[in-house]
């Protein structure tokens, strides 16, 4: 059982199409749950640094994220040697090293495809740019939407996708199109040379050449809330 829950595929429920294609090339052996948690570690460490803290122990970090200290050490151990005995983690050391591991020590250029309500909202989402994800070009299939102006510039026609992705060195794509169009647009993104797709359409994307995709299903998070309340209803919801 230990072996099973430690295997790199345990909990790996995101699509990682490209890794299945790449045959002999073995990705870094980091269990998916540890890889998923590293962003959460980073968020918490940044918040602590912003409050003026300079070091943190694995116990504190674990308490904050609902993990044991041992789990924290194990998770971070997959990525390198960070802790200092008797001191803990030094924030000015650990934060930039985690950013470097994730790859957000540099700017990632992103195409946003689908400028309906969701795409428009995403174009204004402040979290992306502040973490190094720069929405560089906007696309839509609808002639009524092409030419509209947003903070990131004019909405381009899908016909220009390939040319602009290559010219602007765009690596990531956000897919905010209706469900019916999702697969075709994802295929076009793959052909245009995009390496990673953040998919907002409530649809599982097929495996695509040399592209990884992560699907955002907002309903899953509501289901998590519902499940949590169903299993253990909160009591006494009144102000005392």
- Residues in 143-172 that interact with a copy of itself by CB under 8 A: 171-172
Residue 155, helix vs strand vs coil: strand
In 3D space, the residue among 219, 223, 195 whose CA is nearest the CA of residue 209 turns out to be 195
Interface residues for a copy of itself in 198-227 (CB under 8 A)? 198, 202, 204, 209-214, 216-227
**234 lines the binding site for a copy of itself (CB under 8 A):** yes
Closest CA to 38 of 74, 10, 84: 74
* Shortest distance in whole angstroms from residue 12 CB to a copy of itself: 4
Residues 30-69 that bind a copy of itself (CB under 8 A): 30, 32-33, 35-40, 42-43, 47, 65-68
- Please report how close the Cβ of residue 156 comes to a copy of itself at its closest, in angstroms: 20
b (16+ CB within 10 A) / e for 60-90:
bbbebeebeeebbbebbeebeebbeeeebbe
**Interaction residues for a copy of itself, span 80-119 (CB under 8 A):** 101-104, 108, 110, 116-118
Position among 46, 82, 131, 168 found at the interface with a copy of itself (CB under 8 A): 131
Contact pick of 45, 122, 158, 205 for a copy of itself (by CB under 8 A): 122
Residues 6 or more apart from 8 whose CB is under 8 A from it?
29, 30, 31, 32
Q: Is 112 helix (H, G, I), strand (E, B) or coil?
A: strand
Residue closer to a copy of itself (CB basis): 38 or 90: 38
* Stretch in the footprint of a copy of itself (CB under 8 A) among 86-94, 122-130, 137-145, 153-161: 122-130
Of residues 45, 94, 128, 161, which one binds a copy of itself by CB under 8 A? Answer: 128
Q: Which residues pair with 126 in a beta bridge?
A: none
Three-state DSSP state, 74: helix
Cα gap 138→156, rounded to integer Å: 6
Please choose, out of 18-26, 83-91, 136-144, 152-160, the segment that lies near a copy of itself by the rule CB under 8 A. 18-26
């Amino acid at each position: 059982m230990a072996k099973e829950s430690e295997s790199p595929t345990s909990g790996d429920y995101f699509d990682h199409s490209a890794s299945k294609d790449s045959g002999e090339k073995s990705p870094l052996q980091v269990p998916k749950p540890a890889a998923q948690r590293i962003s959460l570690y980073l968020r918490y460490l940044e918040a602590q640094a912003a409050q003026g803290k300079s070091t943190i122990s694995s116990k504190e970090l674990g308490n904050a994220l609902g993990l044991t200290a041992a789990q924290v050490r194990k998770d971070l151990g997959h990525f390198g040697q960070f802790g200092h005995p008797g001191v803990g983690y030094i924030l000015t050391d650990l934060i930039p090293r985690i950013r470097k591991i994730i790859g957000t020590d540099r700017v990632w250029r992103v195409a946003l495809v689908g400028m309906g309500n969701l795409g428009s909202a995403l174009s204004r989402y402040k979290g992306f740019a502040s973490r190094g994800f720069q929405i560089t070009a906007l696309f839509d299939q609808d002639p009524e939407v092409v030419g509209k102006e947003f903070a990131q510039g004019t909405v381009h026609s899908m016909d220009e996708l390939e040319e602009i992705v290559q010219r602007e060195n765009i690596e990531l794509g956000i897919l905010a199109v209706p469900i019916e169009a999702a697969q075709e647009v994802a295929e076009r993104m793959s052909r245009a040379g995009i390496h990673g797709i953040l998919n907002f359409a409530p649809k599982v994307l097929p495996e695509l050449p040399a592209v990884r995709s992560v699907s955002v299903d907002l309903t899953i998070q509501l289901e998590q809330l519902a499940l949590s309340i169903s299993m253990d209803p909160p009591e006494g919801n009144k102000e005392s």
